């Protein structure tokens, strides 16, 4: 018995580390996009409008593929999906370094975004299989830190490569790293049943060693979207992700235009939100499992509502100085980014497992709706700033946070009702709300 426990812990640790490194490394390929824009504009004679297509060409296919094709991972299994997605995005990104055509570069970014869109659902599905239901939220909270660690490390690597070898080679070292991790995923990222291991404390067990087959008619976007709780969780994820990316990408300009910070201080002050996000991601899952008996949706609703409150306080104390700005941004980041990981991770995976072998599909829909929020946050912020001034950005984020909190709270109420009426039957057997 002790040997079996040690064997389980060994594989759990190995799977966690491999997935953490693999998904974190994808940010090595994303961060250069923020650093090469000036070089792109000067070397390819691009306009500012042309540069806007750089982010869109990556984010839009990421969102669309997540929404429409993530169910393919349920058919082929998370191991193949992870390895294939990492290899596709690594190869596409590497060729950017040898590309002299802006149109071709956008095409390669489209392929890279599509490849990366499959990785989060596959990683979440596999990770959920290796841990008990009682520890799932804690594990996903810790797993979510790879996004922030990968972002920081990716920035450092990109800055070093750019300064030493120029912007053209900025994608090569990250592509090599991601390719190696893709091969590693293919070699070791098996589900527990394929290793002949049973994970104690798992209410839902998959039935196939490699790739559970989804039920017929349950893999289209609409059929996945209308599963119980998915519309509410998707709406909440859309709002949370829109707020997260709007604050990360637009805060420096907000500080510069509305609060009259210098460029350097504006950039430094804006990192407070990401620092809070890393802490919130790591701690919130532990709070859910240890203190709230696994009620992730209720905790998400409370935290998203709390992020709206902290943004209100940030706005009301805007004249009080940097200390208060930093304090409330750290709190806002923790309360916004923690639910982000739960909703797109443990919550979505649980819904998909209860549906019967469509964990990747449901996770992809939820994550895709969040990615759609990242695509639309730019136009929303730009529109609000054009019509009402830069001071309107924070009120817009407050409204979105309130909508997200309401959606998560409704999902929590529905979840409790469904659990009470269906006992341990799958959620899909109940009436769709």
| Residue 268 and residue 178 in one domain | no
Q: Is residue 199 part of a domain?
A: no
Of the three residues 189, 211, 235, the one that is the final residue of a domain is 189
User: Does residue 56 form part of some domain?
Assistant: yes
Q: Are residues 273 and 385 in the same domain?
A: yes
Name, of 143-147, 195-199, 324-328, the range with top average pLDDT.
324-328
How far is the C-alpha of 132 from the C-alpha of 209, rounded, in Å?
18
44-53, 213-222, 306-315, 358-367 — which is least confidently predicted?
Answer: 213-222
Q: Which residues contact 156 (CB under 8 A, 6 or more apart)?
A: none
Q: What is the pLDDT of residue 210?
A: 44
Q: Domain with 367 in it: what CATH number?
A: 1.20.1250.20
- Closest by Cα among 336, 337, 340 to 401: 336
For the chain, percent of residues with pLDDT exceeding 90: 27
Furthest C-alpha separation in the chain: 66
Mean per-residue pLDDT of the chain: 82
CB atoms within 10 A of CB 156: 12
- Clarify whether residues 138 and 284 are in a common domain: no
- 205 belongs to a structural domain: no
* Residue 318 tokens, joined: 């805007």
CA distance 205 to 201: 10
Return the CA Rg of the chain: 21
Residue 194, in any domain of the structure: no
**pLDDT > 60? residue 211:** no
**What is the sign of the dihedral through the CA atoms of 51, 53, 54 and 55?**
positive
Distance CA(402)–CA(382), nearest Å, equals 20
Q: Give the per-residue pLDDT at 49.
A: 65
**What is the separation, in whole angstroms, between the first and last Cα of the chain?**
44
| 270 in a structural domain | yes
pLDDT of residue 362: 85
For residue 340, tell me if it sits in a domain.
yes
Instruction: Name the most confidently modeled range: 91-95, 121-125, 314-318.
Output: 91-95
Q: Find which of 89-93, 146-150, 386-390 is predicted with most confidence, using mean pLDDT.
A: 89-93
Q: Closest Cα to residue 84, out of 99, 69, 96, 97? A: 69
CA atoms within 13 Å, Cβ hemisphere of 85: 31
Sign for the CA dihedral angle at 398, 403, 407, 410 comes to: positive
- 402 and 329 belong to one structural domain: yes
The predicted model gives 168-196 an average pLDDT of 92
Choose among 227, 292, 219: nearest CA to 426.
227
Phi, psi (rounded to 5 degrees) for 100: -105, 0
Q: Which of 17-21, 110-114, 209-213, 416-420 has the lowest mean pLDDT?
A: 209-213
Contact 213, 358 (CB under 8 A): no
Are residues 327 and 417 both part of a single domain? yes
Note the pLDDT of residue 66: 81
Same domain, 183 and 230: no
Q: Are both 182 and 229 inside the same structural domain?
A: no
* Residue-number span of the structural domain to which 399 is assigned: 221-429
242 and 367 belong to one structural domain: yes
Give, in order, the Cα–Cα distances in Å from 223 to each of 81, 279, 344, 350.
21, 35, 18, 17
pLDDT value, residue 198: 83
Structure tokens at 66: 């997540």
Report the number of distinct structural domains present in the chain: 2
Q: Minimal CA–CA distance to 359: which of 136, 135, 30?
A: 136
Residue 179 pLDDT > 90, yes or no? Answer: yes
Residue pair 269/251 in contact (Cβ under 8 Å)? The answer is yes
- End-of-domain residue from the set 174, 189, 204: 189
Average pLDDT of 36-48? 78
In this prediction, residue 52 has a pLDDT band, given cuts at 50, 70 and 90, of low
Retrieve residue 300's tokens. Answer: 């998400």
Least confident of 126-130, 192-196, 268-272, 372-376: 268-272
- The tally of CA atoms less than 13 A away on the side-chain side of residue 3 is 0
Q: How much is the average pLDDT of 44-53?
A: 74
Residue 28 near residue 147 (C-beta atoms within 8 A) = no
Regarding whether 272 and 130 lie in a shared domain, the answer is no
Tokens of 237: 């994820």
- Report if residue 337 sits inside a domain: yes
- Per the CB < 8 A criterion, the answer to whether 385 and 392 are in contact is yes
Q: Is the pLDDT of residue 187 over 80?
A: yes
The verdict on 155 and 273 lying in the same domain is no
181/227 same-domain check = no
d(CA 312, CA 33): 32
Contacts of 250 (CB under 8 A, 6+ apart): 381, 393
Please write the tens of the pLDDT for every residue from 96-133: 988 888 899 999 999 999 999 889 888 988 888 888 87
Q: How confident is the model at residue 183 (pLDDT cuts 50, 70, 90)?
A: very high
End position of a domain, from candidates 169, 189, 209: 189
Distance CA 75, CA 211 (A): 6
DSSP state of 200: T
Residues 321 and 367 reside in one and the same domain: yes
Tell the residue number behind the tokens 């409204």, with chain if given.
399
């Amino acid at each position: 018995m002790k040997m079996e426990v040690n064997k389980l812990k060994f594989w759990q640790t190995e799977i966690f580390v491999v997935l953490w490194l693999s998904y974190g490394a994808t940010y090595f390929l994303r961060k250069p996009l923020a650093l090469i824009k000036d070089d792109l504009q000067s070397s390819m004679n691009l306009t500012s409008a042309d540069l806007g297509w750089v982010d869109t060409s990556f984010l839009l296919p990421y969102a669309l593929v997540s929404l429409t094709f993530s169910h393919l991972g349920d058919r082929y299994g998370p191991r193949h999906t992870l390895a294939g997605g990492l290899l596709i995005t690594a190869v596409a990104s590497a060729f950017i370094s040898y590309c002299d055509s802006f149109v071709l570069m956008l095409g390669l970014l489209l392929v890279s975004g599509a490849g990366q869109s499959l990785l989060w659902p596959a990683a979440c599905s596999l990770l959920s299989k290796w841990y008990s239901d009682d520890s799932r939220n804690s594990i996903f909270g810790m797993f979510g830190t790879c996004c922030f660690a990968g972002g920081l490390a990716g920035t450092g690597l990109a800055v070093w490569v750019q300064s030493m070898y120029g912007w053209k080679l900025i994608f090569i070292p990250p592509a090599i790293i991601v390719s190696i991790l893709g091969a590693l995923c293919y070699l070791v990222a098996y589900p527990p049943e394929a290793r002949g291991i049973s994970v104690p404390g798992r209410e839902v067990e998959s039935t196939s060693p490699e790739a559970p087959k989804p039920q017929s008619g349950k893999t289209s976007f609409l059929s996945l979207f209308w599963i119980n709780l998915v519309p509410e969780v998707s709406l909440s994820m859309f709002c949370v992700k829109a707020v997260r990316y709007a604050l990360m990408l637009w805060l420096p300009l907000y500080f510069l235009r509305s609060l009259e910070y210098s460029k350097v201080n504006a950039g430094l002050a804006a990192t407070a939100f990401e620092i809070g996000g890393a802490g919130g991601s790591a701690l919130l899952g532990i709070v859910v499992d240890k203190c709230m008996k696994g009620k992730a949706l209720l905790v998400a609703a409370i935290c998203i509502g709390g992020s709206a409150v902290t943004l209100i306080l940030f706005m009301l104390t805007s004249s009080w100085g940097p200390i208060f700005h930093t304090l409330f941004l750290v709190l806002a980041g923790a309360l916004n980014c923690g639910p982000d990981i739960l909703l797109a991770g443990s919550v979505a995976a649980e819904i998909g497992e209860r549906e019967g072998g469509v964990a990747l599909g449901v996770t992809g829909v939820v994550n895709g709706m969040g990615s759609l929020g990242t695509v639309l946050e730019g136009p929303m912020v730009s529109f609000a700033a054009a019509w009402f001034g830069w001071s309107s950005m924070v009120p817009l984020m407050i409204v979105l946070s309130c909508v997200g909190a309401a959606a998560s709270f409704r999902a929590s109420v529905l979840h409790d009702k469904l659990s009470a009426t269906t006992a341990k039957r799958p959620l899909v057997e109940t009436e769709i709300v």
